[in-house]
Every structure is written in structure tokens, then in C-alpha cells.
A = this chain, B = another copy of it.
Amino acid sequence: MNYKFSHKLDGLKPSAIREILKYSSKSDVIPFSAGNPPSEAFPINDIQKITNDILKNKPVAALQYGVSEGYEKLRNYLKEDLSNRFDINCDSDVIIVSGAQQAIDLVTRTFCNCGDVVICENPTFIGAITAFKSNNVNLVGVNLENNGVDVEKLEKAFKQNPNAKIFYTIPNFQNPTGITTSEEKRACIYNLAKKYGVIVLEDNPYGDLRFDDEDINPIKSLDDEGIVIYVGSFSKIFSPGLRVGYISANNKITQKLVILKQANDVHTNLLSQITVFDFLTKYDIKAHINKLKKLYKHKYDLMNNCINKYIKGYKLNYIKPKGGLFIWLELPESIDMLDFCNKAIKDHSVALIPGNVFYIGQNIKSNAFRANYSAPSDSQIECGIKIIGNMLK
């Protein structure tokens, strides 16, 4: 049969980095590509104890159908936690989703008709770009500065796109650039969104993984109009394989999200929802996150030192991240980055992601690559950066 697929799929071309990703899964590759936590980041023993306990003492609660909103105890815990930590409230409800990716997809479906506009930081998270495109919306990218999105250009984008429905932002240790949006800019983004009637979709998967300094409150904490949708995830601080994330938003919005969630996958895996809840309430989540912060800070420092040591003769344009999982290196001169990353993986088994794939707009050239430091071992970090340095010579 000659299939006629939906137009939604037109914008979703086979990825330019498919080749890189294909090679990346090999065991001898240095994994600077994905955002995977390392094996030692999973609280394996605790998860084993918890699931064992659940399947012994309340198995039916974990194995039976649940409600689309999510496990009520987990929802209540998160509501209180968000309220305590960030002063998030004002009729905000919390629903559980199957990872932050589902949150982005459901929010888009809730607000966007075909042809509506979503405004993004440019560059931004590939998964978000794919989710937006799969919903047939038009994407408008706004450049990033060292302290977050260029707010003048953001206002211009809001003005020029009266059918803009959503502004998507990752304020902490942005993927891929590692940039953190300053407190001032957060307020500015909120005020602009309010002025132009645009929903802010605030994605915060890495926020807990801050190396030093004080947390900056999320944009959601400023929200007295119900225009900010806050998305959290347990993928980076607990386990990505279990697919548990959450959305905090005004309850008029969550009511709509729940309808679409029900139509999409009924509810999120219950055993994992209860596992997350038990970990949060019966185990030491703070100690666990502190352990992760130390681990990632160490890996980041090592990668940073190796860059200074091995990538010589280049004045790299690189904003030092204050947390998260990624560094973003812009090389000073014109390099075909796709070609460079292809060579890195094929000739040297170093998996990097070329910067251009994170940009809205197909033909943007980028001198940058993204390197992840959470997945590789210490020796892989040293060895991989050394190889990159030699390639640049």
C-alpha cells in the first residue's frame, strides 16, 4: 500500500544525527552525546526495597487501573513541596505524566491548533522541537544571551506573532547551552507573557542539579494569573526508565490536560508513581540529590579542566553552566560541525551532538557542539576531550 501519512509527519524528517546516534550505542564509544545519568546515579537498592515493599503490601494499588490525574498521594506531596520551596500556589493543581516529554506534548495539544505559533529559546531541547512539530505548529526561535533569552527579541516575536500560544523555556542549565536565566529576566519573561496573553511552558528537568549558589525561583513562582505551566521530572534525579514527571498549572488547565492524558495513555505507570512517592517520603531524597550534585560537579570540573588543557590555541566561547548535564562549546572559526561530529564518532568513537540540530530552522549553521558529562566515566572524559583537541589541531 502507498501510505498517506498525516501532514504532522512532514516536518519530522529522519534525523541528521541518526548516523551519530547509531554508532553511539556501541559499548566502546565515549558517550558525550545523550543526557543519560551514569549507572551509579540510580538509587538501585532503595528502588529494589521500595518495589518489593509495594508488591508485598499494596500490590493491587500498583497493578490495577488508576486515575488519569495520577497517584493522589504523589500529587499532594508535590503540591505541598512546590508551595513550600517555590511559593507556587494560586489555584495550581498538579498532575502526573509519563515523563516531561509527555507534558510538552499534552500542553501543546491543549493550546495549539494547526498553524499556531510556539516560541522557543534558540537553540533548545530536541525533544521539545519534535513534540511541537508533531503537533503541526509553527516554531519561532528567539536567541539566547548569557543570562537567558533576549527579551527584546522575545517581545518582538510576541508582537509579530499574534497567534503565538506558548513560550517554551528551560530556565535552569538550559539544554543544550547550559545557560541559566537570571532572576530579572524571569520577571521580564513573565510580564511579557502576561502582556501578550501567551502561556509560559517552564521546563525544569535539571533545576535540582545546581552545583553551588542559591536556587533562583522558577517563573511559576511569580504567577498570579495562571499563565505559567511548570513541568518537573524524576528522570534526572531518580530514573528516566521509569518515566515519571509532573505538571503544575492552574486547575482550569489541568482539567483539560487530564482529558487529553486519558485519551493518550489513560494514566502513568502506577508502580513507578508509587515508587517515586515512597522514595520521596520514606527515603532521603535530599541526600540523594546532594550525592548527584557532587558527582556531576566533579565530572563537570574534570571536563572543564580537560578543555583548558587539551583544546589549546582556541579561545572557546563557552558559558560555564552552574548545574545540569551539558556544556556547549562554540568554536571560534567556521567548521562544518555535522562533518566534525561525524568524524569524531566514526574515526575516534567520540559521540558529540552538532549544534545545528538544536536550532529552530533547518539551515542554521552552528559552530558549536554539545557535550554531556554525566554519562562518561572520568577516564572517558579525559580521553574524549583529548581526542577532540587533537582533531582541532
**Chain A residues with a Cβ under 8 A of chain B:** 1, 3-9, 12, 34, 36-37, 39, 42, 44, 47-48, 51-52, 55-56, 59-66, 98-99, 101-102, 105, 109-114, 127, 130-131, 133-134, 165, 197, 225-227, 235, 239-243, 250, 252-253, 256, 259-260, 262-272
Contact = CB atoms under 8 A, between A and B. Distances in A.
Nearest to A64: B241
A177 B110 CA distance: 32
6 contacts: A6-B109, A42-B63, A47-B59, A51-B271, A64-B241, A272-B272
Give the residue among A99, A109, A112 with the most B Cβ atoms within 10 A. A109
Contacts of A272: 269, 271-272
Contacts of A42: 59-60, 63-64
Give the residue among A3, A111, A227 with the most B Cβ atoms within 10 A. A3
Nearest to A259: B12
A63 B239 contact: yes
Given A99-B265, A102-B265, A1 B65 contact: no
A242 B271 contact: yes
Q: Sorted from nearest, which 3 A-B pairs have the closest CB atoms?
A: A241-B270, A48-B55, A63-B239
A60 B1 CA distance: 40
Contacts of A197: 1
Nearest to A98: B265
A280 to B, nearest CB: 16
Contacts of A243: 98, 265-270
A2 B1 CA distance: 46
A64 B240 contact: yes
Contacts of A113: 6-8
A42 B62 CA distance: 11
B65 A242 contact: no
Give the residue among A6, A12, A130 with the most B Cβ atoms within 10 A. A6
Contacts of A47: 55, 59, 63
Give the residue among A111, A134, A253, A269 with the most B Cβ atoms within 10 A. A269
Contacts of A262: 101, 127, 130
A91 to B, nearest CB: 11
A267 B99 CA distance: 9
B242 A105 contact: no
Nearest to A62: B241
Give the residue among A1, A48, A131 with the most B Cβ atoms within 10 A. A1
A113 B1 CA distance: 19
A64 B37 contact: yes
A256 B9 contact: yes
A225 B1 contact: yes
A34 B263 contact: no
Nearest to A37: B64
B6 A112 contact: yes
Given A48-B52, A101-B265, A241-B271, 14 more contacts: A6-B112, A9-B259, A9-B260, A12-B263, A42-B59, A42-B64, A61-B241, A98-B269, A101-B262, A105-B265, A131-B264, A242-B269, A242-B271, A243-B266
A105 B48 contact: no
A304 B262 CA distance: 32
B36 A65 contact: yes
